[in-house]
Amino acid sequence: MEQPGKWHRALPFADIEDDDVVGVTLGDQGEHEVAVYKLGGKCYATADRCTHQSAKLSDGLVIDDFIECPLHQGRFHIPTGKARSAPVSIPLQTYPTKVEDGVVHVLVEDIRFD
Amino acid sequence: MKELDELVRVREQIIPRAQLKRLAKRNNHAGLGFLAFHFSLIAGTGWCVHLALGTWWIVPAVFLHGVTLATLFAPLHETSHGTAFRTVWLNEAVLWLCGLIYIFPPRWFRYHHAFHHTYTQIRRRDSAMVLPKPITLGQYLFYVSAVPVWRRNLSYLFNHAMGSLAPAEHEYAPADQRPALIREARVMVAIYAGIAAVAVAYGLWAPVIYWLLPRIVGESYARWIRVAEHTGCAEGSDPQANTRTTLTNPFIRILWWNMPYHAEHHLCAFVPFHALGRFHEQVHDKLLVANGGYFKVHLDLFRRFIRLKHGAHAS
């Protein structure tokens, strides 16, 4: 079954350092803030805002396969979005990714602006 | 939150992210080393209390022992940030142990302290604002006495154990965490009740002599140190003006797990304590730094801000 949403071109995979994260804005109106990660050569993507107090996760730190919020150091498991340590408790949205011709694409559901 | 994004932009102008990433590397050995030193000090001062029993030396001995217990705030603080140890379970275990001895629910402290970092020096929002201006001598002495902090901390513990969070506290912790906070307080109260029950049953005064009494006495010293962190600094969210680093001797720095590098810590809380010295070397000229130690900071506060009463001078 096809996943809902649209594939958005994000950034060249080579632009992300190993075990690091880059924040991108996707969508026609920049409505999706997405954090794109490179972990062990694989690509992942999550929402870029911490579910605790909305700090940008792409300003944070990748530690093993967790992203640590730069503000209060709450951690999320990058591949699954699970909240790992307080003060975060609400999981992070994750997005499917693919790398085509060296470019990361992220599947996000479009937001309708009426 | 746009204010948080702005904080990051300010930080990036002071130090590039690539440098921060290098400073932010975590390990376990630094925390284990500091913890071993801290608990050795606690054991040593506890031994001094034992030797001083029945003499007037008990007074300075209890105070010194109280200082080593009260400065457990430093590892409590560092582990609440998750930065003391690379290994999560080790970090959480030490957080809990320190919270138990320090007598502050550790999970609650994490949420309470997080709010302080988000709203540092913002009046009526900063959960840990110390002596906002104007400051009277009475207010200063009352704060340093530690009475308001004990009142606040014990009310958190017992109210939470009774299942109640005050309306103002709801803002600090998400609703889904409140059952865990209540459970945490109940576990702590149960542990303390158990210690009290054993002490009463066997006629033991040790928990009072070696823990409670020095813990209460030593908190004044901790409050005195903590005045220097933000008191007299600018109100508002500018990390270059709302927090003060106090340069002090290596022993005090180690006892406080490098917390005296407080401006650096607020600029980037994900830099672990053991890297704050290096962080300071790279950014000290862009932050508020007080030379000359804590006495000089307090002297300066008296000179510039603390008044006998509102509208009068302390001298």
Across the interface, whether the CB atoms of B118 and A70 are under 8 A apart is answered no
| Within a domain: B152 | yes
Residue to mutate among A71, A77, A88, A89, with most B CBs inside 10 A, is A71
Three-state SS annotation for chain A:
CCCCCEEEEEEEHHHCCCCEEEEEEECCCCCEEEEEEEECCEEEEEECECCCCCCEHHHCEEECCEEECCCCCCEEECCCCCEEECCCCCCCCEECEEEECCEEEEEECCCCCC
| Within a domain: B276 | no
| Within a domain: B94 | yes
Give CATH for domain A6-108. Answer: 2.102.10.10
Across the interface, whether the CB atoms of B82 and A87 are under 8 A apart is answered no
State the average pLDDT for chain A.
91
Domain region containing B178: 28-231
Q: Give me the pLDDT at residue A110, please.
A: 67
d(CA B225, CA B129): 14
Across the interface, whether the CB atoms of A61 and B270 are under 8 A apart is answered yes
By Cβ distance, the residue of A59, A63, A84 closest to B8 is A59
| Within a domain: B275 | no
Q: At B136, is the secondary structure helix, strand, or coil?
A: strand
Across the interface, whether the CB atoms of A52 and B21 are under 8 A apart is answered no
User: pLDDT digit of tens for each residue in chain B (315 aa)?
Assistant: 667 788 888 898 999 988 999 999 999 999 999 999 999 999 999 999 999 999 999 999 999 999 999 999 999 999 999 999 999 999 999 999 999 999 999 999 999 999 999 999 999 889 899 999 889 999 999 999 999 999 999 999 999 999 999 888 888 888 889 999 999 999 999 999 999 999 999 999 999 999 999 999 999 999 999 999 999 999 999 999 999 999 999 999 999 999 999 999 999 999 999 999 999 999 999 999 999 999 999 999 999 988 877 765 444
* Number of structural domains chain B divides into: 1
A28 has pLDDT over 90: no
The average pLDDT across A14-21 equals: 95
Q: Give me the pLDDT at residue A68, please.
A: 96
Contact A21, A36 (CB under 8 A): yes
Provide the edge-to-edge strand list for the sheet that holds A6-12.
A6-12, A103-108, A97-100
User: B223 CB near a chain A CB, below 8 Å?
Assistant: no
Q: Give me the pLDDT at residue B313, please.
A: 47
The average pLDDT across A19-45 equals: 93
Q: What is the ipTM of this complex?
A: 0.85
